[in-house]
Structure 1
Amino acid sequence: MAGWPEERRPEPEERRRPWGALALIALTGIFLMRTGLPDRPGGPPRPGPAHAAPADHAPAARPLPRSVPDRVVIPALQVSAPVIARGLDAHGAIEAPPSADTRVTGWYKGAPTPGERGTAVLVGHVDSYTGPAVFYGLGGLKRGATVEVRRRDGRRAVFAVYSVRTFAKDRFPAEQVYGSAGRPELRLLTCGGTYHAGSGYAGNVVVFARLVAPGGGHPATPSATPGAP
């Protein structure tokens, strides 16, 4: 992408559209990323199924001011990927990252930026017909793994994973996944669950993480780019 889409500062949280009302938008946006690898045995890693989002009561770091994300780094997956802003398409769905480059991730600009108070959302493809994509290994992340988001203001927001879950698309708990926890949190989303030829993946993998090091913390940056494990 040649540049970032124009962004406006979001309304105060109490005036924003409730995440619960965006359930269909969220499902449709992730639905667009079910590209699938029908000939790949085993498929991407799968976390345990869940019917509700977990609670995490550990203290979080102090929130950061708003600044758009430029890159996401996940050392455990050897992922270092650019982030582009995504809005809603003509059908009211979250725009998926470009299918021409499945190494790119998308930040939903209707949500907080990573490090702000509230829940920031990054989405990415799981695979394509040519091989694994940027979030192929997402389901294999473990509790305590770090996710570093590099922001336009030069700060690095470091998050710690506290849960990884798979949710069925037709029972996706949008309010629990996207709703504000009152502290800086991050969600990483991709497709997952059982793959069906013709209809794609049956669910979504969701990573839950909380901010632990605003503007500090420097996890080792992987040298590899996203791809096959």
Structure 2
Amino acid sequence: MTSGAGGRHEAWRAAGAAVVAILALVGAGFIGAALNEAPPLQPPQPIAEAGPADLDSTDLNSTDNRRAVGDGSDGSSDMSDDLHSADSVGMTRSEPTDITIPRIGVAAKIMTLGVNPDGTVQVPPLDQAQLAGWYQPGPSPGEIGNSVIVGHVDSAAIGPAVFFHLGSLRAGDIIQITRKDQSVVKFAVDSVKSYPKVGFPTELVYGPTNKVGLRVVTCGGQFDEENRSYVNNIIVFATLID
């Protein structure tokens, strides 16, 4: 990635396919829970686990793709087109500082994350698992493209973490991001899915789009006793609202 905010953004947009290809190699385990023993509480899970059809497209914001990812089988309905009327105009770049998700009681600071030397996506330290993290090489919340916010579901250091209840979100729930320029960006949840880490939907999360989108990612599924981690990733797909 080139240096400077503008350079990072342009490099991401221009070389999106290459970036996605790299992330596809590491997506399977990019947020792992590090627990010394099985978690005392099972985090809530989305009602429906994602199927192969959910991996067919990189743009979740079209009517057809919203239907493919959140077709109502999980008790949710597609958001109306007028709710997303604001998603065709992007904002200028500004790093996020806070994330608020009223329905699950999240009010957390956001740290900036990049890529490790081995090419894996950075995550917040386990002793700071109450913090969320923004993937800086991608768009900032409010810019055209999919902004990615990641966080732990739990950790040995603090127990239940920032996104412990992420899997209980439903279509229509609001996610609010405060940015360094003092602006506040609001997103409405389109769908919530649980994907096996071995089949992480890299393009759906990091791939290019002409919409203003948000992806919030944590661990989920069953806890693997042998590997001391969860087998799935829970992903919230959301779109900018006015």
Q: TM-score, normalised by structure 1?
A: 0.83
Listed as ranges, the gaps of 5+ residues in structure 1 are: 1-5, 214-229
Q: Hey, what's the Cα distance between the residues in 1 that align with 2:27 and 2:141? A: 18
8 Å Cα contact 1:191-1:204 kept in structure 2: yes
Shift of the 144–38 alpha-carbon distance from structure 1 to 2, 3 Å rule, reads same
CA offset digits 1:176-215 (Å, max 9, x no partner): 23222311100000000111113110010000000103xx
What's the counterpart of residue 117 of structure 1? Answer: 144
Q: TM-score, normalised by structure 2?
A: 0.79
Secondary structure of the 2:103 match is: helix
What's the counterpart of residue 75 of structure 2? Answer: none
Please tell me the residue identity of whatever aligns with 1:160: A
Secondary structure of the 2:230 match is: strand
Which has the higher mean CA deviation after the structures are superposed, 44-53 or 152-161?
44-53
Shift of the 89–21 alpha-carbon distance from structure 1 to 2, 3 Å rule, reads closer
CA offset digits 1:30-64 (Å, max 9, x no partner): 2xx323461514x0010120121552383341311
Residue 103 (structure 2) pairs with residue 102 (structure 1) = no
8 Å Cα contact 2:29-2:197 kept in structure 1: no
What's the counterpart of residue 222 of structure 1? Answer: none
Please tell me the residue identity of whatever aligns with 1:150: T
Shift of the 138–116 alpha-carbon distance from structure 1 to 2, 3 Å rule, reads same
Listed as ranges, the gaps of 5+ residues in structure 2 are: 67-79
CA offset digits 1:129-171 (Å, max 9, x no partner): 3421000000000110000000011100100001000000111
Residue 187 (structure 2) pairs with residue 159 (structure 1) = yes
8 Å Cα contact 2:28-2:199 kept in structure 1: no
Which has the higher mean CA deviation after the structures are superposed, 179-188 or 199-208?
179-188
Shift of the 19–39 alpha-carbon distance from structure 1 to 2, 3 Å rule, reads closer
What's the counterpart of residue 68 of structure 1? Answer: 95
The offset of 1:11, in angstroms, is: 4.3
Instruction: Indicate which of 5, 8, 24 corresponds to 1:8.
Output: 5
Please tell me the residue identity of whatever aligns with 1:19: V
What's the counterpart of residue 34 of structure 1? Answer: 33
What's the counterpart of residue 206 of structure 1? Answer: 235
Q: Hey, what's the Cα distance between the residues in 1 that align with 2:131 and 2:109? A: 5
8 Å Cα contact 1:60-1:210 kept in structure 2: no
What's the counterpart of residue 227 of structure 1? Answer: none
Shift of the 119–19 alpha-carbon distance from structure 1 to 2, 3 Å rule, reads same
Q: How many residues align?
A: 205
Secondary structure of the 1:181 match is: coil
Task: Quote the sequence identity (%).
Answer: 34
8 Å Cα contact 1:60-1:183 kept in structure 2: no
Please tell me the residue identity of whatever aligns with 1:50: A
What's the counterpart of residue 50 of structure 2? Answer: 50
Shift of the 147–87 alpha-carbon distance from structure 1 to 2, 3 Å rule, reads same
